[in-house]
Chain A
């Protein structure tokens, strides 16, 4: 039960997808989580509910609507075509966009909680010591929320690695482009190649366990929660 070239391609694609999505989620999710944690706007609740939707929806629902939106007659598809980018469905970029939406709550929740846990006091103290808003964010809020960033990164990465339904709906099953590990395992099982399915599935299992173990050992205070 050794890994074939197609398996390595799927692993590589999965890794590339998870890293891209996690990176983009930090960039997009940090300001959104900060806004959700600190704004008194009445829009925070609807936005928080919207962000959390992938937690409760079957991935196929999200995938179905994204497929429609990305398609030639959907709003996103029309826009990407007008911009000369072609269609997002059945492309790696489409997978990235879909995965960002799907994994968003797993990044937003830990960041939001970490920002909320800081409270007003350290930021007010920083202000009295001459730190402006951006300065306060980078010199106080980010370092104090670093454990939240670790959790958010791990959860966002792991959920992107593990997604299946959305990928299948939006990405299809194109080798080198959209065939990620979870789909590859499904293919192996369908073809009754249990040995190859084992190699990939077992590898994923061990990898996930080791990542979580590393997170928990590096965060002694998590035991208190």
Chain B
């Protein structure tokens, strides 16, 4: 038995079929990304043992949770999972403290779980004596996250935990999820159909519901794949993870160095050395053959054309570039492609109009 999370299951419903055979990393957040009805939630329910999918094989590390060939099925309450849904699902008859203790006590109140640390990390120390119906939506969700963490899960299952929240509440919870990611060694499966959440939080991605079956891989590689880019439609674009190299306080810029290049972004408050994630959308990248001299575009880097693919509109192409060690995607018109006589191997300059911070 290797490490990591093994999921093999075949979901069958009238008019619906999903075959998964995945080995996912034992660390970090894996996003299950796909449109509604692509089987994401069914997949999580099977992993949690809430539904028994015939023939499935589910294992985490050396612990087998379901192996129907051997007639093995571990019931949900014996699986160390933390399950988070859109609705926080707090028990209305218990206080926040009672809710937090529910799973903690059943896990044997393990001393290895830093109870005070989790409560502090989620900022719910002042809410302990309240009833769930006296909390805001964001507070409830934070309590639910803490409750799941205190049950000492080996795997976190997050089923669109932000989908029921408005933009302000989302912005309230996202930093906590990001902190979870940085501080906890617990792997998580994160179901979402919001690419910005996925791009911000996830390390690995499983793409469901596309016309070409199931794909998975490290997130930056998945987002740079031409063959999958249409799944993300107008949102297609690469993810770059870089380190703040310097600050320019005169022009209010920060330089972000990444593998094979550097870009300037609006001045960040973080110190030099901090790692940040940015998204560069394909629609924000344009190409020129010569280095432009008089331009307002700040970030221009040399790149090589690798390939091109059709997009959802016949007027446009999606071009994959290699800029040093980093892939880029550019969405340009068919006419430009012909006018610049581009082909795989062409040397170009990529002009990056904007990069979006992901936190």
Name A140's closest neighbour in chain B (CB-CB). B91
User: A121, B87: Cβ atoms under 8 Å?
Assistant: yes
- Which residues of B from 17 to 57 have beta carbons under 8 Å from A? 48-50
Answer whether residue B281 sits at the interface, using C-beta atoms and an 8 A cutoff.
Answer: no
Q: Which residues of the other chain, B, contact A133 by a CB distance below 8 angstroms?
A: 77
Name B83's closest neighbour in chain A (CB-CB). A128
Name B106's closest neighbour in chain A (CB-CB). A130
User: B50, A127: Cβ atoms under 8 Å?
Assistant: yes
Pick the contact of B76: A121, A124, A140, A143 (CB < 8 A). Answer: A124
Interface of A is mostly: helix
A-B contact count (CB 8 A): 59
Pick the contact of A130: B77, B89, B91 (CB < 8 A). Answer: B77
- Please measure, in the bound complex, the distance between the C-alpha atom of A9 and the C-alpha atom of B187, giving whole angstroms: 70
User: B50, A129: Cβ atoms under 8 Å?
Assistant: no
User: A129, B75: Cβ atoms under 8 Å?
Assistant: no
A125-B107 CB under 8 A given contacts A130-B151, A144-B92: no
A127-B77 CB under 8 A given contacts A121-B87, A139-B102: yes
User: A128, B48: Cβ atoms under 8 Å?
Assistant: yes
A128-B102 CB under 8 A given contacts A121-B87, A122-B89, A122-B91: no
User: B77, A131: Cβ atoms under 8 Å?
Assistant: yes
User: B76, A128: Cβ atoms under 8 Å?
Assistant: yes
Interface centre among A122, A128, A131, A139 (most CB of B within 10 A): A128
Total residues of chain A contacting the partner, CB 8 A: 19
Name B102's closest neighbour in chain A (CB-CB). A129
- Please measure, in the bound complex, the distance between the C-alpha atom of A131 and the C-alpha atom of B103, giving whole angstroms: 8
Total residues of chain B contacting the partner, CB 8 A: 24
Answer whether residue A126 sits at the interface, using C-beta atoms and an 8 A cutoff.
Answer: yes
User: B89, A127: Cβ atoms under 8 Å?
Assistant: no
Pick the contact of B107: A121, A130, A135 (CB < 8 A). Answer: A130
- Which residues of A from 19 to 42 have beta carbons under 8 Å from B? none
User: A129, B93: Cβ atoms under 8 Å?
Assistant: no
User: B77, A132: Cβ atoms under 8 Å?
Assistant: yes
Tell me the smallest distance from the CB of B60 to a CB of chain A, in Å. 14
User: A129, B106: Cβ atoms under 8 Å?
Assistant: yes
Q: Which residues of the other chain, B, contact A131 by a CB distance below 8 angstroms?
A: 77, 102, 106
Tell me the smallest distance from the CB of B355 to a CB of chain A, in Å. 39
Answer whether residue B279 sits at the interface, using C-beta atoms and an 8 A cutoff.
Answer: no
Q: Which residues of the other chain, A, contact B85 by a CB distance below 8 angstroms?
A: 121
Pick the contact of B89: A121, A132, A139, A143 (CB < 8 A). Answer: A121
Tell me the smallest distance from the CB of B197 to a CB of chain A, in Å. 22
Pick the contact of B50: A124, A130, A135, A146 (CB < 8 A). Answer: A124
Q: Which residues of the other chain, A, contact B280 by a CB distance below 8 angstroms?
A: none
- Scan A132-169; emit 1 where CB is below 8 A from any B CB, else 0: 11011001100110100000000000000000000000
Name B48's closest neighbour in chain A (CB-CB). A128
26 pairs of residues in contact across A and B, judged by CB atoms under 8 Å:
A121-B87, A124-B50, A125-B83, A125-B89, A126-B77, A126-B102, A127-B75, A127-B77, A128-B50, A129-B147, A129-B148, A130-B78, A130-B103, A130-B106, A130-B107, A130-B151, A131-B77, A131-B102, A131-B106, A132-B77, A133-B77, A136-B77, A139-B102, A140-B91, A143-B93, A144-B92
CB-based closest 7 A-B pairs: A129-B103, A130-B106, A127-B76, A128-B83, A143-B93, A125-B89, A127-B77
